[in-house]
Structure 1
Amino acid sequence: MLEFRTQGFNGYSVKYSPFFDSRIAVASAANFGLVGNGRLYVLGLTANGIVAEKWFDTQDSLFDTTWSEAHENQLLTAGGDGSVKLFDITLDQFPVQSWQEHAREVFAVHWNLVAKDTFLSSSWDGTIKIWNPNAPASIATLPTHTCTYSAAFSPHSPSILSCVGSDSHLRVFDLRTPASASNHLTMNIPIHTPPKPRMGAAAPPGIPPAEALTHDWNKYRDTIVATAGVDRLVRTFDIRAPQAGPIAVLPGHEYAVRRVSWSPHLSDTLMSASYDMTCRVWSDGSAVVGGMNQENMLGDPMMHGGGRELGRMGRHTEFATGVDWCLFGAEGWCASTGWDERVLVWDARALMQ
C-alpha cells in the first residue's frame, strides 16, 4: 500500500487519469471544507512512492475533480464558491478557464465519456449545468429542485445523464428529448422504495427517505446504476424497470456512504467509501445466481439475490470520502482519500481473496 499526505488539507475526491496509470488527481479542502482554501493535487506513482507533481491552490474548498477526456493534461474542479475551474498541469497556478454560474457549492463535476467536448457540474443550488470547455457560459441548465450531490454522464451514451440528491431520488435525463416542461427529465426513481418481495414473502416495510450522496453507472451493463447515501445502504437499480425498486441492496456500512464506483474490469463489482472510515468492495450478485447468468434474470429483478461484501480496507483514520479504480493493468488497483489528510493506493484483489 502506497501513501501520500495532503498536509493541512482534507481529501474529498480522488480520480485516476484516463491517460496514465501512474497519475492521480485529488481535490481537497482546508478545515474539512467548512471554511478556507482548497488545493488540487496531481500525484505521480513512482518507484520511490507517491510524489506531488503539481498542485493548485484555490480560494475556496474543492469538493470534486475529474480529468478531461480530450486533453491529457487538463482537469476540472468543483468549488465551494460555486465555481467550476479548468486547470492545465503544464501551466502555472491559474486556471485556464473558470465559470461562475452556480449560486451554491458545486459538489460534482463529470466529463462526458462519449462526446468528449462536454462536461457537467451539479450544485446545492438544485441545478445541473452542461458545459463546453471552449464556451464562456453553460450550454444547458437542468433543474433538479433538490440539493444535488452527484451527477454523471452515462458511459454508454453522449446524451444521457443522471443525478442523486437530498430528496432520495435517482433522476435520469436524456438531452435528445424535447426540453418542454420536463427539462429533458425522463425518469425519477425513488431510491428508498423497498425491493419487490419474493414470491410468497411478505412485503418489506417502507423505508423513510434519506439523502443520496453518490451514484455511478455500471461500465458494462448500460441500464444499471448504483446509489448510496446517508442510510448506509448501497443499492443498484435497472432503469428499464424503474417501478421495481432496487435489484440489489448491500448493507454493511456503519455510517453514511460518501462515494461508490463500479469496477472498470468486472461487471458485477463495485467499491464504496464511507464515513465509517472503511472502503469496501462488493459483488452485486449479478454474475451468477443459481447457475444462471445475468442475462437470464432480467425478467425477475429480485433474482439478483447474491449481493455481498467481498472485502474491506480500514486503514483510513477519518471519514473516507473518495475512491476510484485504476483503468489500466491488473484489475483491482485503486486509490482512496479521506479527511485524515491521506491518499492511499492499494490492491482490492488482496481484500477480495
Structure 2
Amino acid sequence: MNVLRAPPAAVQTPGFAHYSVAWSPFHNTRIALASAANFGLVGNGRLHFASLAPGPGGASGLKIDKYYETQDALYDIAWSEVHENQIVAGSGDGSIKLWDVMLNDFPIRAWHEHAKEVFSVDWSNLKKDTFLSASWDGNVKVWTPERPRSVATLKAHTSCVYQALFSPHQPDIIATCSTDGTIKIFDLRAPAYASGPASNAFTNPVSAAVLTVPASSTELLSIDWNKYRPYVIACAGVDKVVKIFDCRMAGTAPPTSQSVGGACEVQLSGHEYAVRKVQWSPHRADVLVTASYDMTCRMYVPDV
C-alpha cells in the first residue's frame, strides 16, 4: 500500500550555508542554525532562529523568526540548559558569543580567548551553568556565562580540536577529538587541575588527559558519547570508518598494537568519503547515525 507523506518542512537562507542545527531543549518547535557566507571560507556569518508552524492544508511549515549578523562564520551552537532564550555560538574569528532570542541586534555576552576558529561548543546537561568551546588552536575551554574569562583551559591537542563534549553521565568528564587522530578524555576533578596561589588554569593550561585513544591514522572529525553506556564513545573522520571504543578497556591491547589506550569494540564501514558527523540515538543504546561528505546519511545498529 502506498502511503502519501507530506513533504518535509524546509526554509531557505540565501547566501548562507549551515554548519550546525540545534533543537531548543525547552520548545519542541524552535530550532537555531549556525550559518556562514561562502561556505565558511571567507565572509560573515548568521545565527538564524526558526520555528515550526502550521502550513497550507495543515502540514507543518518552517519559518525564520529572526537572525543576527556576525563578522565571521558561525560553526557551532549550543542552547543554554537553564535559560530558554539563550544560545552560545562559536565563530571563525575565535570569539564566542551568547545571544538572547528576546533581544535584538547584539549578543548579551562575548568572549575572545581562542587564537583560531571555534569549531565546537557544548552545553553541559548535568552541570547546567557550564559550557565548553573547542578550537583549531588546540585548546578546549570551560566557561560559565556570568564570568568574564574562562574557568579553565585544557591544552587538549597540539593541532585542531574538531569537537569537545561533556559526558552525559559524569559532569566533570570531557572527550575531545582532533586532527592528530586521537580521542582524549579529561577529568576536571583530577589533581593536575588544582590551582595554587601563583597558578591558575587560565594562565597555565593543563594538558594531561586521563586517557588517550589513538583511534585513527587520519583526522577525527566527530565523536559522541553513548547515552546509555557510560564508558562507550563513537568516533568518525577522514578514514571513512566509524569506530566504537569502550574506555574501560584502556591498556588491554598488546603493546605492539596501534590501539593501545582503548579497546575498539566495532568498526563500521560503508561511506565512500570522510564522515563529518556521528551521533548516538537518544532513545536506544544500539543505534547511531552518520553524515558524510559522500552525501549520504546512514543508520547503523552495531553488534556491541
TM-score by length of 2: 0.86
Displacement of 1:156 after TM fit?
Answer: 0.7
* 2:169 match: 156
Corresponding position of 2:213? 189
Kindly provide the amino acid, as one letter, of the partner of residue 148 in structure 1: V
Indicate yes or no: 2:95 matched with 1:83: yes
- Between the aligned partners of 1:62 and 1:159, the Cα distance in structure 2 is 27
**Taking CA–CA contacts closer than 8 Å with sequence separation of 6 or more, which of the two structures ends up with the larger relative contact order?**
1
**Match for residue 296 of structure 2?**
278
Shift, 1:7, TM fit: 1.3
Displacement of 1:24:
1.2
CA distance in 2, matches of 1:10, 1:216: 24
Structure 2 residues without counterparts, runs of 5 or longer: 1-7, 56-60, 194-204, 254-262
* Structure 1 residue 152, shift from structure 2 partner: 0.5
Query: Offset at 1:8?
Result: 0.7
1:242 shift after superposition: 2.7
State the aligned residue count: 270
Which residue number corresponds to residue 197 of structure 1?
A: none
Deviation at 1:277, TM superposition (A): 1.3
User: Distance in 1 between the 2:302 and 2:188 partners?
Assistant: 29
Residue matched to 1:252: 270
Aligned to 2:260: none
In structure 2, distance between residues paired with 1:182 and 1:23: 37
Comparing 53-62 with 160-169, greater Cα deviation is found at: 53-62
Question: 3-state SS of the aligned residue for 2:227?
Answer: coil
Deviation at residue 279 of structure 1 after TM alignment? 1.5
**Structure 1 unaligned spans of 5+:** 193-208, 287-353
Matched, 1:110 2:122: yes
Return the letter of the residue paired with 2:16: F
Tell me, yes or no, if the aligned pair for 2:131 and 2:142 is still in contact at 8 Å.
yes
Matched, 1:225 2:233: yes
Matched, 1:27 2:51: no
Tell which deviates more after alignment, 126-135 or 270-279. Answer: 270-279
Aligned match of 2:110 in 80, 98, 114?
98
Deviating more after overlay: 227-236 vs 15-24: 15-24
User: Equivalent residue for 1:346?
Assistant: none
Task: Check the 8 A contact 1:105/1:125 in 2, yes or no.
Answer: yes
The 5 A counterparts of 1:37-186 are 37-48=44-55, 49-144=61-156, 145-179=158-192, 183-186=207-210
Query: Is the contact made by 1:19 and 1:72 (CA closer than 8 Å) also made in structure 2?
Result: yes
Q: Point out the more displaced range, 12-21 or 27-36.
A: 12-21
Q: Percent identity?
A: 50
- Structure 1 residue 6, shift from structure 2 partner: 2.0
Kindly state the Cα deviation for residue 184 of structure 1 after the two structures are TM-superposed: 4.9
Q: What TM-score do you get using the length of structure 1 for normalisation? A: 0.74
Mapped partners of 2:13, 2:210: distance in 1? 41
CA distance in 2, matches of 1:278, 1:2: 19
1:192-245 superposed Cα distances (whole Å, 9 cap, x missing partner): 2xxxxxxxxxxxxxxxx1100110111111111110111111111111013453
